[in-house]
Amino acid sequence: MRTARFACATLVVALFATTATHAQDATAKAAPNKAAIKPEELDQVLAPIALYPDDLLTQILMASTFPLEVVEADRWVKKHKSLKGDALAKALEKEDWDPSVKSLVNVPDVLASLSANLDSLGKIGDAFLADQKAVMAAIQKLRKKAKDAGNLENSEKMTVEEKADGGSEVIVIQSSDPKVIYVPAYDPRVIYGPWWYPAYPPPIYYRPPYWVPGPVIGFGVGFACGVAWGYAWGRCGWGYGRVDIDINRNVNLNANIDRNKYKRDFQNRGGNANGKGAWKHDPKHRKGVAYRDKATANRFGGKSKTQAAQARKSFRGHKPSQASRPTHDRSTNRSHKSSGRSAFSGSHRSTAKQHSNRGRASRASHGRSRFGGGGARRGGGRRR
């Protein structure tokens, strides 16, 4: 009798433990992954791009999750400056980059700024992957502050509209001419009014000739939407806190894009067969860059920055128990110090360095940060 009671009690405990475990797993899956960086850091890195036209902004947000491809594309643009028109379209289609990255070839100065500022780019990408709603909300907060300060209004090259989207009042920014991309130049330290996080001032980006000191938005020569903009499929779903895509967008700009291929790929990752719907991160374009945390890494089948750092130490012949011990080999010390730095506020700096020698320069001073428009054209002509 006692044996039967003991067995029954054991079974009840086991069932309770199993139920609790399943409940915890379900809660973990249902709970959204919180923003990868603090609100003050999020405002800091988004401030230089928050007032960009919505169409350009969405491309940057998606591309920020593929930092190495951004670096590759920037180098590619500089190497193929003579390519134009159909030749550019065919060459671009051969490159194995995410469409969002390909679209930025149309705005080479923006592409160069992102490539030169890997620290900010990495943080934006980390936050966007962790919590799109938090990123979209932060951008809207910044826009409202700029508007409340009297510094965000309609102009000859930019339209600013307050409208309802998904039950929320949002601020939508577009280029005045849908065929031209005008990149605004402004000082993020003053355009939003007094900066509310003194310890986290936004970076001071490149100041082109049309940059005006003070709370003013300037515009240079616009970029005509060319063949590269045929890959610009994103739109801001402000009311839903996400970026949506439509692969059939901008069809008239580039007939060399195999859109059916991209639709199949989108469908294989859980998207609609028609190529429309919420944007989905494609891990294959991450190209080895570690994710910020384990939860994000598990979602996309990659490694977190901590796991990547441990893997590198193991590859170099270091046991975990020896990681904290001092070594007398100076070359090994240098190797450890190098592996500890990261343009993405983590451990994958060494990976990024293989693709760009500009990451360290982006952190040297705020004065070198380059988030601005103008410069050489690519994927379309320049218009005044």
60-92 per-position pLDDT tens digit: 999 999 999 999 999 999 999 999 999 999 999
Q: Decide if 274 is inside a domain.
A: yes
CA distance 100 to 233: 8
Boundaries of domain holding 73: 39-287+354-377
Per-residue pLDDT at 368? 42
Q: Decide if 17 is inside a domain.
A: no
127-159 per-position pLDDT tens digit: 999 999 999 999 999 999 999 999 999 999 999
Q: Decide if 332 is inside a domain.
A: no
148-197 per-position pLDDT tens digit: 999 999 999 999 999 998 888 999 999 999 999 999 999 999 999 999 99
326-365 per-position pLDDT tens digit: 444 444 444 444 333 333 334 344 445 444 444 444 444 4
Q: Determine phi and psi for 180, rounding to 5 degrees.
A: -130, 140
pTM of the model: 0.75
CA distance 229 to 254: 8
Per-residue pLDDT at 310? 59
Query: What is the pLDDT of the chain when averaged over all its residues?
Result: 79
Per-residue pLDDT at 302? 73
Per-residue pLDDT at 314? 54
Contacts of 154 (CB under 8 A, 6+ apart): 160
Lowest average pLDDT, out of 136-150, 297-311, 365-379, goes to: 365-379
CA distance 223 to 278: 27
Per-residue pLDDT at 213? 78
Q: Decide if 149 is inside a domain.
A: yes
Q: Decide if 127 is inside a domain.
A: yes
- What three-state secondary structure class fits 313? helix
270 vs 16 pLDDT, higher one: 270
Q: Does residue 199 carry a pLDDT above 60?
A: yes
Contacts of 152 (CB under 8 A, 6+ apart): 51, 143, 146, 160, 171, 173, 191, 217
Contacts of 305 (CB under 8 A, 6+ apart): 290, 291, 292, 293, 342, 344, 346, 347, 348
Q: Decide if 313 is inside a domain.
A: no
251-262 per-position pLDDT tens digit: 999 999 999 999
Q: 280-283 long-range CB contacts below 8 Å, 24 or more apart? A: 281/65, 281/129, 282/98
Q: How many domains does the chain have?
A: 1
DSSP class of 288: T
Q: Decide if 6 is inside a domain.
A: no
Q: Decide if 45 is inside a domain.
A: yes
Q: Does residue 273 carry a pLDDT above 60?
A: yes
Hey, which of 7-11, 277-281, 289-293, 363-367 has the most confident mean pLDDT?
Answer: 277-281
Region 13-27 average pLDDT = 39
Region 34-51 average pLDDT = 86
119 vs 9 pLDDT, higher one: 119
Q: In what order do the strands lie in the sheet with 234-237?
A: 234-237, 242-246, 276-278
Per-residue pLDDT at 356? 47
Per-residue pLDDT at 205? 67
Kindly report the three-state secondary structure assignment for every residue of 150-187.
CCCCCCCCEEEEEEEECCEEEEEEEECCCCEECCEECC
Region 314-323 average pLDDT = 52
